[in-house]
């Protein structure tokens, strides 16, 4: 039997654009309509209307935490227009969660930005941070939230949007990417200060893909170190050092802090040396560590969650939440196995004294998976995207039982677990 601490959070996670529906004022919506993105989010899960039902379901399933994001473009649909009704709706969501003993964790920025903000250059321009500041100030007024994350996966935002250019705003410009990175750190520092004056816990969510060298050769090992630094460490290091190292230059940013680090963990990459300078002399591919690939094409490597937790905490000595971990599959037995095996490794970290305070499964329900649309099914709860009917899968109940008792039984470990 694996016992978790009594105050451990067993929650689920979502983000605004992926579940709410009709987020017509953000950049993703714009590119969905223009056809630049293959899929349209449309009504998504219609969570903006069905939030009561969704929270009721979370309550029935015994989940005791919920991480969701606020849609900036709902709060400020236009530069100088604040939508008080939207703030009220988020307040109502927070109240409902608290009434049902579900701890809310709010993400301020989960990939989407208001279209008007992007038209002004978005995070590429430091002077635009005044808009961010106004937004954060309006959210700081919410009552009953103790856990805030400023950004979700800042380096994914930087690389997909500004280096590889396959997500909005579809730019391939490493110099611009560096500026964005620096400004996200500045934005974090601004938000940290505003929110700390409200005596709440403020963190940041960083995904930590595990990097493995493709071979034991010196060149591959060096390439792996570089990938790890550029993608995983330099951004987090800069929070305290005030210096962000990018492949082109080093930027000075204000020193800041976090009260916790949120780790999103999904998969493992293989890094090879390359002679291509435009690729920074390295090649990144999905590691072939598991025979079966998820609907995202990802390998499953449960031990990676332990490696991510231990490396991040050894390096920064901050409390950790697993803010996302999940699998896209139609095989729900595989989902159960995935959850149990990853939780076994979270438990191992806990038993070695690492301070992990919670685990949020991605995702509460099937939703709009960005450039991949509605095909990858990450949900504990199945969603019919025509009728918006919700149907908890078996995994939803198995996870609920773990959440309720804070225990993984020997039976579950025996049936789905690994020998550690």
Interacting residues toward ligand FCB by CB under 6 A:
15, 18, 152-153, 156, 207, 264, 324, 362, 369-370, 378
Tell the smallest beta-carbon distance from residue 413 to ligand FCB (Å).
26
51, 204, 293, 342 alpha-carbon torsion, rounded to 10°: -90
Contacts of 265 by beta carbon, 8 Å cutoff, 6+ apart: 207, 208, 209, 210, 304, 305, 308, 322, 324, 325, 342
Tell the smallest beta-carbon distance from residue 349 to ligand FCB (Å).
21
H helix or E strand, kind and range, residue 410: helix 410-416
Tell the smallest beta-carbon distance from residue 241 to ligand FCB (Å).
25
Compare residues 32 and 324 and give the one whose CB is closer to ligand FCB: 324
Compare residues 153 and 332 and give the one whose CB is closer to ligand FCB: 153
Tell the smallest beta-carbon distance from residue 324 to ligand FCB (Å).
6
Tell the smallest beta-carbon distance from residue 287 to ligand FCB (Å).
17
Tell the smallest beta-carbon distance from residue 367 to ligand FCB (Å).
8
Query: SS3 helix, strand, coil % of the chain, rounded to 5?
Result: 45, 20, 35
Compare residues 233 and 370 and give the one whose CB is closer to ligand FCB: 370
Compare residues 154 and 169 and give the one whose CB is closer to ligand FCB: 154
Q: Which DSSP state fits 229?
A: I
Tell the smallest beta-carbon distance from residue 326 to ligand FCB (Å).
7
Compare residues 5 and 297 and give the one whose CB is closer to ligand FCB: 297
Compare residues 175 and 371 and give the one whose CB is closer to ligand FCB: 371
CB atoms within 10 A of CB 143: 9
SS3 call for 242: coil
Distance CA 283, CA 276 (A): 9
CB atoms within 10 A of CB 307: 18
Distance CA 5, CA 339 (A): 18
115, 369, 154, 27 alpha-carbon torsion, rounded to 10°: -10
Compare residues 159 and 264 and give the one whose CB is closer to ligand FCB: 264
Compare residues 132 and 362 and give the one whose CB is closer to ligand FCB: 362
Compare residues 207 and 313 and give the one whose CB is closer to ligand FCB: 207
SS3 call for 392: strand
Tell the smallest beta-carbon distance from residue 69 to ligand FCB (Å).
9
What residues does 151 pair with on adjacent strands? 109
Compare residues 64 and 160 and give the one whose CB is closer to ligand FCB: 160
361: Cα separation from own chain's centroid: 10
Distances (CA, A) of 140 to 144, 148, 199, 343: 10, 9, 10, 32
Decide the pairing of beta strands 407-408 and 390-392. Answer: unpaired
Compare residues 68 and 251 and give the one whose CB is closer to ligand FCB: 68
Distance CA 242, CA 255 (A): 4
What are phi and psi for residue 107, nearest 5 degrees? -95, 130
Tell the smallest beta-carbon distance from residue 217 to ligand FCB (Å).
30
CA atoms within 13 A on the CB side of 177: 25
Q: How long a stretch of residues is the chain?
A: 420
What are phi and psi for residue 81, nearest 5 degrees? -120, 115
Give the chain's end-to-end CA distance (angstroms, integer).
13
Tell the smallest beta-carbon distance from residue 84 to ligand FCB (Å).
27
Tell the smallest beta-carbon distance from residue 378 to ligand FCB (Å).
6
């Amino acid at each position: 039997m694996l016992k978790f601490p009594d105050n451990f959070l067993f929650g689920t996670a979502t983000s605004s654009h992926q579940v709410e529906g009709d987020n017509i004022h953000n950049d993703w919506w714009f590119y969905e309509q223009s056809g630049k993105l293959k899929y349209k989010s449309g009504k998504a899960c219609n969570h903006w209307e069905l939030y009561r039902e969704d929270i009721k379901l979370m309550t029935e399933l015994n989940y005791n935490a919920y991480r969701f994001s606020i849609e900036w473009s709902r709060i400020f649909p236009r530069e100088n227009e604040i939508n008080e009704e939207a703030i009220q709706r988020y307040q109502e969501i927070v109240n409902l969660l608290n009434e049902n003993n579900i701890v809310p964790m709010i993400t301020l920025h989960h990939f989407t930005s208001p279209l008007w903000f992007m038209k002004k250059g978005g995070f590429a321009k430091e002077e635009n941070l005044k808009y961010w500041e106004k937004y954060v100030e309006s959210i700081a007024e919410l009552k009953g939230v103790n856990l805030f994350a400023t950004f979700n996966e800042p380096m994914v935002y930087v690389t997909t949007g500004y280096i590889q250019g396959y997500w909005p705003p579809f730019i391939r410009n490493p110099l611009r990417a560096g500026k964005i990175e620096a400004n996200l750190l500045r934005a974090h520092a601004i938000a940290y200060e505003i929110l700390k004056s409200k005596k709440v816990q403020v963190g940041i969510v960083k995904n930590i893909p595990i990097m493995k060298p493709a071979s034991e050769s010196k060149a591959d090992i060096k390439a792996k170190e570089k990938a790890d630094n550029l993608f995983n460490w330099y951004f987090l290091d800069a929070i305290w050092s005030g210096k962000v190292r990018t492949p082109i230059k080093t930027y000075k940013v204000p020193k800041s802090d976090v009260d916790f680090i949120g780790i999103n963990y999904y998969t493992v990459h293989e890094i090879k040396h390359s002679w291509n300078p435009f690729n920074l002399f390295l090649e990144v591919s999905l590691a072939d560590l598991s025979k079966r690939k998820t609907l995202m094409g990802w390998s499953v490597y449960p031990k990676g969650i332990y490696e991510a937790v231990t490396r991040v905490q050894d390096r920064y000595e901050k409390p950790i939440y697993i803010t996302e971990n999940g699998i896209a599959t139609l095989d729900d037995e595989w989902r159960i196995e995935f959850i149990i095996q990853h939780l076994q490794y979270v438990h191992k970290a806990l038993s070695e004294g690492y301070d992990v305070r919670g685990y949020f499964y991605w995702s509460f329900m099937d939703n709009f998976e960005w450039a991949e649309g509605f095909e990858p099914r990450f949900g504990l709860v199945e969603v019919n995207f025509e009728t918006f009917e919700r149907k908890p899968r078996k995994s939803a109940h198995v996870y609920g039982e773990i959440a309720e008792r804070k225990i993984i039984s020997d039976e579950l470990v025996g049936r789905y677990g690994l020998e550690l």
